[in-house]
A = this chain, B = another copy of it.
Amino acid sequence: MNEFELIGRYFHFSRAAVDGDTLGVGDDCALLALPAGEHLAISTDTLVSGVHFPADAPPGLLAKRALRVNLSDLAAMGADPLGFQLAITLPAVDAEWLNGFSTALAEDALLFNCPLLGGDTTKGALAMTLTVLGRVPRNRALLRSGAQAGDLIYVTGTLGDAAAGLHCLQSGQTNDFLLDRYWQPTPRVDVGKALQGLASAALDISDGLLQDVSHLARASGLGAVVDRNAIPLSAAIRAIAAPEQGYSWALFGGDDYELCFTLPPQHRAAMEQAMAAIGVQVTAIGRMVPYGGDLVQCLDERGSAVTVEASGYDHFRS
């Protein structure tokens, strides 16, 4: 099977899902319309076999994770998905693998209303790069740089589950909830949209809470104080590990794809109402402060500083 037959067989699924103003797979470029008064939001993420996922990862889970991880970047900007391009590098044409991958990808493309709009297939070590496109009303995007001193820091959902799931995966433990949290994170697109005009800054938690909060603090020219014991841990984590381990997964583990956002205190009631309306749990975990030499201070229940290694998930650590 050559490249063209491959594309034709496995990656044409979204063509029918796009409307008359859009051109999907099959020409030199895809075409897309953007409503007047909106900005295009674009994000690209690569997943490399053996680095970002185990080489023997089930193709369906991999497809879902790849798309969701990218959609999370749109969510973090408050953007609505328009579509995505997939560049996939494969060591060989494996019909069973491709069938599992493309079927799951088509399911999630439909679920998140984010059609496949072309891409590229190449031969080489297994890897995939997705570029997601979204739209957000002008001047309503949630940037990292908008936080003010005194803003509260919130996170959605529970943290550390993905790292705990990866731990289960690597140690052969079965734990459906945690494994699901690792393989199928929920991109918080609805949260991002609901936070437009309320949150002062936002990002998604992909590198571990402390690393990500430090990005937000740096971009905003501030410091952040995180109350470690306020970090929401799932019942599933509490069932398999001591709180210290749970906090460690949350602080350093990454891959949760929950949102972290800052909120001017006067927007608290409006934000809580908006989150209740979409049924999403949010937890205040700290506050933004003037920069005083530390991007992030993490305090334990006694108010003592937790030793923060400059860790996080670094794709270039050896």
Q: Which of A's residues lie within 8 Å of B, judged by CB?
A: 1-4, 6, 21, 23, 26-34, 36, 39-52, 73-74, 76-77, 79, 85-87, 89, 93, 117-125, 127, 129, 131, 133-134, 136, 138, 141, 143-145, 202-204, 215, 219, 314-317
Contacts and interface: CB of A to CB of B under 8 A. Distances in A.
A317 B127 CA distance: 19
Of A27, A87, A219, A317, chain B has the most CB atoms within 10 Å of the CB of A27
Given A2-B314, A31-B136, A122-B127, 5 more contacts: A21-B39, A29-B43, A31-B41, A33-B138, A124-B125
B127 A124 contact: yes
Contact of A144 (B28, B129, B141): B28
A218 to B, nearest CB: 9
Of A6, A23, A129, A204, chain B has the most CB atoms within 10 Å of the CB of A129
Contacts of A49: 124
B43 A118 contact: yes
Contacts of A23: 141, 143
Contacts of A28: 43, 73-74, 76-77, 144, 202-204
A115 B73 CA distance: 20
